[in-house]
Amino acid sequence: MSYNISNDDFGTQSSREPSTGYIRVLHAVPDAPNVDVYANDDLIAADLAFGESSDYIPAAPGNYIITIYAAGTQENPVLRNTLSLEDNDVVTVAAVGTMDDMGLLAIPDSDMAMEAGTTMVRFVHLSPDAPAVDVTLPTGRLLFGDVAFKQRTPYIPAPPRTYTLQVRPAGTSDVALTVPNVTFEPNMMYTIYAIGLAGGEPELQGLMLEDR
């Protein structure tokens, strides 16, 4: 599967019968205002605040111009880029970085098989000023190691239950963030995002989303 965001010109969508995919939008730029997000001039997320995500929306394969404006406006776009979507792709399009250095990151969701009764979980680092991090249990047991900004981990299986997770600068025992009461339900796939700022406001925080 291919997920490309580039500055290329908008391409012509396929004329063949499409297989429906899905797109959702995540606002992860800590110093940006609420935004409206358009795909090929169709509004797909309205008044989205930092830390919020849209619902998944169906989308046929093809190229989409993704344009982000300050909420309530359609002038002077904050960001514009293109997204290439293939058959049956399920993608979270995240606005990442800071207002001075903002970009779009296409994150493929639910891209591996799951055994019945288990939970699949992964981690994505979207804090623009945080170093590479480890994600652990309070015991220090490593779940995801040395994840840098904009990187995502593979999904891993986890027994369905409630956990406390900790985010630590990679290779250290220092705890930068504790995320309590994270409940994994069976037969679900989740992504845990680190968003916010390690050294400013809004503070570093964890956000868990269900993946389609």
pLDDT digits (tens, 9 = 90+) for 11-50: 333 333 457 899 999 999 999 999 999 999 899 999 999 9
Distance CA 113, CA 151 (A): 21
Where does 119-211 sit in CATH, by number? 2.60.40
Q: Where are the domains of the chain?
A: 4-108, 119-211
Q: What pLDDT was estimated at residue 192? A: 98
Where does 4-108 sit in CATH, by number? 2.60.40
pTM of the model: 0.89
pLDDT grade for 72, boundaries at 50, 70 and 90: very high
Q: Are 106 and 93 in contact (CB under 8 A)?
A: yes
CA distances to 24, 50, 62, 91, 190 from 21, rounded to whole Å, are 11, 25, 10, 8, 18
Q: What pLDDT was estimated at residue 143? A: 97
Look over the chain and give the mean of its residue pLDDT values, rounded to a whole number.
90
* Tens-place pLDDT, residues 198-211: 999 999 999 999 99
* Tens-place pLDDT, residues 81-124: 999 999 999 999 999 999 999 999 999 998 777 888 899 999 99
Q: Does pLDDT of 58 surpass 50?
A: yes
CB atoms within 10 A of CB 66: 22
Same CATH topology for 4-108 and 119-211: the answer is: yes
pLDDT grade for 2, boundaries at 50, 70 and 90: very low
* Tens-place pLDDT, residues 112-160: 778 888 999 999 999 999 999 999 999 999 999 999 999 999 999 999 9
Q: What pLDDT was estimated at residue 101? A: 94
- Assign 36 to helix, strand or coil: strand
